[in-house]
Structure 1
Amino acid sequence: MPEFIKSENTSWEVLSDRVAIKATDLSSLKYNEIRITNEVKDFFSLEHMARHERREVFLHFQGTPYPCAVYLDSFEKGRGKMRWGKKFRSVFSGMVSGYFFDGSDSPSVPLLRFYKWDALNYEISLIFVREIIDHTVEVDDRTLAPWEHYRLIEENFMWRIEAMKHHGTACAICGFDYSKTYGDAGKGRMKIHLKRAMSDKDFLPDPEKDLLPVCANCHELLHEGLEEQELRSIVQMHREMQKGRMPRGSRND
């Protein structure tokens, strides 16, 4: 399994041409920027930037776009930085500063997930490692019946983190986001669902193909027998029905 907690020294993890993960660090709080190292210069499309070029990009967080600047700070080495403004600084600092100034030596800092829409737009989310660990109850495999072995995956904090690194922190079925709705109280509460049956308790899933982050309601319905796509269709159908309903009192009776 890939490492689920990154330190400042390891910096970046690129999962695909669309997804990259950055461990938050103290320098991002102090200077309102992150370094774009060689591992991710292609991800952020630095290869064609001129020496003194500054490119405006947008970080989309919980539905709000925040302008940032990407530029090369070492043209010869092809390395750059992404710097954000006051609006995102306030949001970012408010959500992660406590992990660096509370006197704790825990390495479980939040992970910053980038999903690349295009070279100018990135959807970002924060994976709160500490809270995921805190909200995961360890399962004793000796107490499980064979048909319950899926819980060894779904109730394992490492697999929960891996699933969110690949798929994000919102429910993959209905889009519900615990942190957006509940703030600090919602951190680390997203469940995960194993999409395939386990052949044995030593089975190791592929996080991208086999796991989904899901809210508690969708998770319950999936375990009651609804298929993933079937449940998505139900959610979409009811949303369309809600859009089509007229406000009370607007009809001519």
Structure 2
Amino acid sequence: MTVVSPSPISDIHPPEVLAVACRQIFKEFGTGETKTIALRGVDLDVLAGQMTLLVGQSGCGKTTLISIVAGLLNATSGSLTVLGEDLIGMSGSRLVQFRQKNIGFVFQQYNLLPTLTAVENAAIPLIIAGMSRRKAFAEAKEILAEVGLAQRKHLFPNQLSGGQQQRVAIARALVHEPRLLVCDEPTAALDAQSGQTVMELLRRVALQPDRAVIVVTHDSRVFSFGDRIIHMDDGVVTKVEVPDPTGVRPLEIHH
């Protein structure tokens, strides 16, 4: 295990391999006495072709950070480049289009539409992008099969277990082949075998040279899948770990 500084690594890796570059990202909520500082100057690089794990105690800013990276929240200040684009300066319909085309997000609470079946939920990004329903459903069925839900594709969310709903959410995030996949606790509701299946699928996506995956997790079972483990505490990055490439990857998390 090699521990490196959390400072920017652009001088080590050429810019073209960076999927995400955060520089001095601050995020504040509220004003006056109710103001909360969620992020306190985050510097973070996410490399293309890799899976980056983001770990830390609840409330340390992990979900806020990935929401900003995914274009779901605006930073209070700082600079953010995602897939070569300045996300801070992007707004309105352009930001929506960029997010729809390039980013997949797996929400911790799934956010499935209760009146749609698993295949209909998974097909939503493709239909929004203008694909015919027939083709969208065909591709959604394929990705559902990859996450082990081929036999449950026509069931509604209330007919699925929590773990099965989580896998539908993952399938929906993957179906349009995003260049950046952001996952908030994707294995939290899964048993060991299902979690392994999902992480192997996410890992295959991460290994493609023009894509990257960010996973927020408290699940120590998935640490072996990460190429880099980013530790956060109180709104800042405190440590970046690069697991031993031999596959022997014991981790001790220090907050």
Q: Same fold, TM exceeding 0.5?
A: no
Q: With CA pairs under 8 Å and 6+ residues apart, which has the higher RCO, 1 or 2? A: 2
Structure with higher Rg: it is 1
Q: TM-score, normalized by length of structure 2?
A: 0.28
